[in-house]
């Protein structure tokens, strides 16, 4: 039962038992492979337990499958920024801006693609854009990456070459 799996995953996250939560979210992902929220939850658990490299890999894999998933792009910006990978964070941020612009253009054209896609049975892109909301309500705001004051993390051995790089401001973050 997906409700039980979801509840148990959320319970273990709330109690900071991320390895157990990962097991439940991975199982949910196997049962509902087109629901991006489960993949995002697995990545979020890796991030929360301090495995930033694996979290980044998982977010990148989600991005490759769902390039229009705004949540995933935001997670990648924050992970890279927190790790001092400013250039990479800026690249992900540019993708967010392009996606926002494309979505605005679709809205301006009067197209409501998500509703059209849902009427046809849905598509991967539509699923990727709307997938996080149901679980977010159950778990609280655990999939959000709004904690900008977290300590700097390391995803690689490389450090920024210019100290000025730390002062780059990413608008909207």
Residues present in the chain in total = 173
User: What mean pLDDT comes out for the span 70-93?
Assistant: 93
Number of domains in the chain: 1
Domain that holds residue 127: 2-139
Residues 6 or more apart whose CB falls under 8 angstroms from that of 95 comprise 67, 73
> Does 104 map to a domain?
yes
- Is the pLDDT assigned to residue 125 strictly greater than 50? no
Structure-token pair, residue 104 = 């605005």
> Does 169 map to a domain?
no
> Does 119 map to a domain?
yes
- Is the pLDDT assigned to residue 120 strictly greater than 60? no
Q: How confident is the model at residue 61 (pLDDT cuts 50, 70, 90)?
A: very high
Residue 109, pLDDT score:
84
The per-residue pLDDT for range 16-33, each reduced to its tens digit, is: 999 999 999 999 999 999
* Rounded Cα gap, residues 64 and 46, in angstroms: 19
- Is the pLDDT assigned to residue 99 strictly greater than 60? yes
> Does 166 map to a domain?
no
User: What mean pLDDT comes out for the span 147-171?
Assistant: 42
Q: How confident is the model at residue 162 (pLDDT cuts 50, 70, 90)?
A: very low
> Does 45 map to a domain?
yes
* Among 11, 140, 125, residue whose Cα is nearest residue 67: 125
Interhelix angle 86-108/70-82, rounded to 10 degrees, is 160
* Residues 128-164 as b or e (16 or more Cβ within 10 Å = b): bbbbbeebbeebeebbebeeeeeeebebeeeeeeeee
């Amino acid at each position: 039962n997906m409700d039980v799996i979801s509840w148990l995953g959320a319970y273990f996250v709330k109690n900071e038992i991320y390895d157990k939560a990962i097991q439940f979210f991975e199982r949910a992902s196997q049962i509902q492979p087109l629901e991006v929220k489960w993949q995002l939850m697995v990545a979020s658990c890796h991030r929360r337990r301090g495995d930033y490299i694996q979290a980044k890999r998982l977010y990148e894999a989600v991005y490759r499958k769902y390039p229009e998933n705004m949540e995933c792009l935001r997670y990648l910006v924050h992970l890279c920024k927190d790790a001092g990978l400013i250039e990479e964070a800026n690249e992900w941020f540019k993708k967010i801006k392009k996606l926002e612009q494309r979505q605005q253009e679709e809205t301006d054209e009067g197209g409501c693609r998500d509703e059209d896609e849902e009427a046809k049975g849905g598509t991967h892109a539509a699923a990727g854009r709307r997938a996080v909301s149901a679980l977010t309500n159950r778990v609280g705001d655990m999939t959000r990456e709004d904690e900008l004051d977290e300590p700097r993390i390391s995803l690689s051995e490389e450090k920024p070459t210019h100290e000025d790089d730390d002062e780059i401001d990413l608008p909207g973050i």
